[in-house]
Structure 1
Amino acid sequence: MTDRLSGISVFVTVVEAGSFALAASRLHLSRSAVGKTIARLEQRLGVRLFHRTTRSQSLTDDGALFYERSLRALAEIRAAEALLESGKQQVSGRLRVSMPVLFGRMCIAPILTALAREHPGLDLDLSFSDRVVNVVEEGFDLAIRNGALPDCAGLVARRLGDNRMTLCAAPDYLIRCGVPESVEVLAQHDAVTYIHAGVIRSWLIPLADGTTREVIPKTRLLMDDLQAIADAAEAGFGIAWLPCWLIRESLLKGALLRVLSEVPGVDFNVHAVWPQTPHLPLKVRLAVDALVGQLPARMVF
């Protein structure tokens, strides 16, 4: 029975991944192992599940019917597991999470690894990528999103906290070039600026009347990596607009100083999103609760 359920799970993953190779990557198996599992499943059922060519694969009519029923069966099994888990705090199984690279490494991963240490039965599969993954199609249990949420059809979202941005510069730069006294003079200063997908990110500065001014800095250095921007700002190349969680230690030791500190920072929401299910798996609930409880303290200064 275990082999049968394993074969069905592999089959569903192959269908959703769209290829044996991608399914093998998601399952942490070799492509050969996935192919052999599907072949055994087809032999047991006595039908062909896929039309295969050297360049593509597609479901047969029997395969489409079996996929529909398999999804229902797996959903029932997962719901039953969630119900049983909800009555106890001993979580088990693999938790697959997608998160932004730098933010994930510095803020999210330490919380989740501490959770795994607390629950020895919990296995983590952490994926670090700055692209917006398709949570359902790519088989993630949970994803962390910074900023505005894209279309979340079929997903549940929970706000984890606020990602606060602040202006900062090295003491050496401020001695050489002067301390900005107002938002208006920011554009006259050298800046280390973030660029993404060919677009230079302007700075958003809240004003006293509740509006926000968009400042386009006089860019001296363009970089597409936040840590590199922080390093360049600390080296005295100019003013940078960076998240507090990234420069907390530099601010504490005085390697960077806040600029226009009386101006409130801009906050971007951080959310956890996960597939909508009748019963939330315990491993997801515990992970989200841990992030809600611990993440805000890591993002402020």
Structure 2
Amino acid sequence: MEQLKGISIFVEAVEAGGFSAAADRLHLTRSAVAKTIARLEQRLGVRLFNRTTRMQSLTEEGRFFYERCLRAVEQIRLGEAMLESGRREVRGRLRISMPVLFGRHCIAPILASLLDEHPDLELDLSFNDRIVDLLEDGFDLAIRNGPLKDNPDLMARTIARQRMTVCASPTYLDRHGAPQTICDIQLHEGIVYRRGDYDRGWIFPTSADPWRRIAPKARLRLDDLASISDAAVAGRGLAWLPCWLVRVEVLAGRLVQVLKHEPANVFDAHAIWLRSPVMLPKVRLAIDTLAARLPAVMG
């Protein structure tokens, strides 16, 4: 059993990217992880990791050993999943990655409510806009917005549809008037989302062009959607934002939706998980719950 524990900690250290990260996942100290790896190396008679003061990387022998250990660990995990799938109760830790704002506003409140219903469930929620690797980063589930790339190792389910809207403050509209058509947007000041050197165009699908892009005049560019909403409330111009993000501001009268008669850009939110013969009950519960409850908060 001690040998199996050492192998599982070794695999976790590789997947987590280091001893400290593995220790956090396993609720151990970094010293305990390092000592376990050292004992495993001593028993095998090889060095598995190259160590520096800041990081650990696999040796050639470590890579060879990891590839074979991973197969064994995956079989053990599959066996645990099959046993757990036969239980009615949901238990264990569920690690989920999600976009920062969408996760904070829409996903996390729904998932947190599951803790009241399932006392043996633990949630580990990570807010990050990068696309994570479920296997390497150790996540059970990820939430992603927009189109997905084909990946034979992943499964996906649409859990909600997000609708974009153009909005502005009453102060801005009093000064400049409201656009009456999509083309009028080009005559207005816009608050534009920029990522790197790229300005995201405002998309308005039509029968002739499902990706028709309109660009307003823009003197203010931001790479944070919440800041764009704040700037719109302050009267800095028109903003193109998800309905769920501006819902409270619209209800409070701090923002007004315009061009509501025009077709809006709509895109899907997906739950992503690793392809497996058996789906863990805790993963299925999270996906089913989000699919059932998300539409009500999307606006």
What TM-score comes out, normalization by structure 2 length? 0.91
**1:224-263 matches, cutoff 5 A:** 224-263=223-262
Asked if 2 retains the 8 angstrom alpha-carbon contact of 1:170 and 1:257, the reply is yes
Residue 137 of structure 1 aligns to a residue whose secondary structure is helix
- 1:171 maps to a residue whose letter is P
Shift of 1:27: 3.8
Asked if 2 retains the 8 angstrom alpha-carbon contact of 1:48 and 1:60, the reply is no
Matched residues in 1 for 2:96 and 2:33: separation? 23
Matched residues in 1 for 2:151 and 2:126: separation? 20
Asked if 1 retains the 8 angstrom alpha-carbon contact of 2:244 and 2:298, the reply is yes
In structure 2, the partner of 1:159 is 158
In structure 2, the partner of 1:189 is 188
Residue 130 of structure 1 aligns to a residue whose secondary structure is coil
In structure 2, the partner of 1:52 is 50
In structure 2, the partner of 1:116 is 115
Residue 179 of structure 2 aligns to a residue whose secondary structure is coil
Range that drifts further, 139-148 or 63-72: 63-72
1:18-64: per-residue Cα shift (whole Å, max 9, x none)? 43344345445443221112123334x44335153537532454x55
Shift of 1:275: 1.1
Asked if 2 retains the 8 angstrom alpha-carbon contact of 1:206 and 1:266, the reply is yes
Residue 291 of structure 1 aligns to a residue whose secondary structure is helix
Gaps in structure 1 of 5+ consecutive residues: none
Residue 212 of structure 2 aligns to a residue whose secondary structure is strand
Shift of 1:87: 2.6
- Deviation beyond 4 Å, 4+ runs, structure 1: 63-66
Shift of 1:210: 6.1
Matched residues in 1 for 2:31 and 2:152: separation? 34
Q: Check 1:208–1:13 CA distance in 2 against 1; reply closer, same or farther (3 A cut).
A: same
- 1:163 maps to a residue whose letter is Q
Q: Check 1:182–1:36 CA distance in 2 against 1; reply closer, same or farther (3 A cut).
A: same
In structure 1, the partner of 2:8 is 9
1:234-293: per-residue Cα shift (whole Å, max 9, x none)? 111111000011011111222111111101211111111111112111111111111111
Q: Check 1:282–1:4 CA distance in 2 against 1; reply closer, same or farther (3 A cut).
A: farther
1:135-186: per-residue Cα shift (whole Å, max 9, x none)? 1111111110011223534111111111111111111111110111111111
Gaps in structure 2 of 5+ consecutive residues: none
Range that drifts further, 6-15 or 168-177: 6-15
**1:110-149 matches, cutoff 5 A:** 110-149=109-148
Matched residues in 1 for 2:44 and 2:226: separation? 56
Asked if 1 retains the 8 angstrom alpha-carbon contact of 2:41 and 2:48, the reply is no
Asked if 1 retains the 8 angstrom alpha-carbon contact of 2:178 and 2:258, the reply is yes
Matched residues in 1 for 2:144 and 2:193: separation? 19
What TM-score comes out, normalization by structure 1 length? 0.90
Residue 284 of structure 1 aligns to a residue whose secondary structure is helix
